[in-house]
Amino acid sequence: MKLSRELKTGLVTAIIIALFFWGYNFMKGQNIFDTSPRTYFAKYSNIGGLSTASNVTINGMKVGKIVDITFDRDPESRGMLIVEFGVNNDFKFSKNSIATIYSASLMGGKALSIDASFEGEEALSGDLLAGKVERDMFTSLGETINPVQVKLERVLESADSLLNGLNSVLNKEGRRNLSETISGLNETVSGFKNASVSLNNVINENKDELSSSISNLAVTTENFAKISDSLVSINIVGTVDALRESITRFGIIMEGIEQGEGSVGKLLKDDGLYINLENASKELEELLREIKEHPRRFVNISIFGKKDKGYQEKEE
């Protein structure tokens, strides 16, 4: 059977279109000749550059490709990304497995790894697995450098402010004042140096006197230590106890006197003794006055043995 030119052209065109369609899907990671791939889903907030050409691996072995990446249509998860990936291998794992996006190379290429778990119910085609994004070296380095960069920028800003302030201070007059201050400081240091030299000279010239003074001070200190030891050796405690006992006894005596005990107490407290003494004093005073006024009544002296008539008559 002879084919016409138009039919040949149509067959060639159909074959070219089929090859193009297969190649396009193959570049997307889909094998149109594989009629029964298992597909799974995972949800992420950021996929870090993952594409439909990225590989899917289990323990480093390629088992499939990323099928599609779409936004979640659920209003509560708006902005989340849903990654659909296919697994051509018949390797079984559970729903507790985790789909982790990781860096496949230093050039920034991304891939998806299934961290297989065998506990729990087996994952079936169409199930949603937990998603996780693994930080790559550049991300970790960036997270480490960013705080340092912020601090460095603050330091540079502070340094810039300091330099501006320093430039404003170090004008012509400020530089002159600073120069004068440094000159004064040099003079002060020179004065201290000269004073130190003079002090060294004085010490060298009076070395013997200083040695003698230090020796005398040492002897005085030693004697003071001996005196201290002697004072410590005195029975100060016994002396204080004896003094306390004496004070206690004196207090007892004074208390007895206050209560009228003993001769001194009676003398101070007995009113009768005071009255008797007062009466005796009055009688003695009257006696002395009587003797002074009438001495002949108490003294009778006769030279010739005769009575004094005047006294006798007076008494009659």
Please tell me the predicted confidence (pLDDT) of residue 255.
77
pLDDT tens digits for 110-132? 899 999 999 989 999 899 999 99
Please tell me the predicted confidence (pLDDT) of residue 139.
58
pLDDT tens digits for 215-272? 888 888 888 777 766 665 656 667 778 888 888 888 888 877 777 666 666 666 667 7
The boundaries of the domain holding residue 117 are: 34-134
Confidence of residue 314 (pLDDT cuts 50, 70, 90): very low
Is residue 79 in a domain? Answer: yes
Is residue 143 in a domain? Answer: no
- Split into its structural domains, the chain has a count of 1
Please tell me the predicted confidence (pLDDT) of residue 137.
61
Is residue 194 in a domain? Answer: no
Give the C-alpha separation, 191 to 124, whole Å: 94
Helix boundaries (H) for the chain? 5-27, 137-169, 172-205, 207-233, 236-258, 262-269, 271-293, 309-315
Please tell me the predicted confidence (pLDDT) of residue 101.
92
Is residue 61 in a domain? Answer: yes
Is residue 50 in a domain? Answer: yes
Is residue 124 in a domain? Answer: yes
Which residue shows structure tokens 């729903």? 95
Average pLDDT, the chain: 78
Confidence of residue 279 (pLDDT cuts 50, 70, 90): confident
pLDDT tens digits for 70-122? 999 888 888 899 999 989 888 889 999 999 999 887 766 889 999 999 998 99
The whole-model pTM stands at 0.38
Tell me: pLDDT of 313 over 50. no
Question: Hey, is 49 helix, strand or coil?
Answer: coil
Give the C-alpha separation, 209 to 227, whole Å: 27
Is residue 43 in a domain? Answer: yes
Is residue 101 in a domain? Answer: yes
The answer to whether the CB of 45 falls within 8 A of the CB of 80 is yes
Give the C-alpha separation, 245 to 232, whole Å: 22
The answer to whether the CB of 200 falls within 8 A of the CB of 210 is no
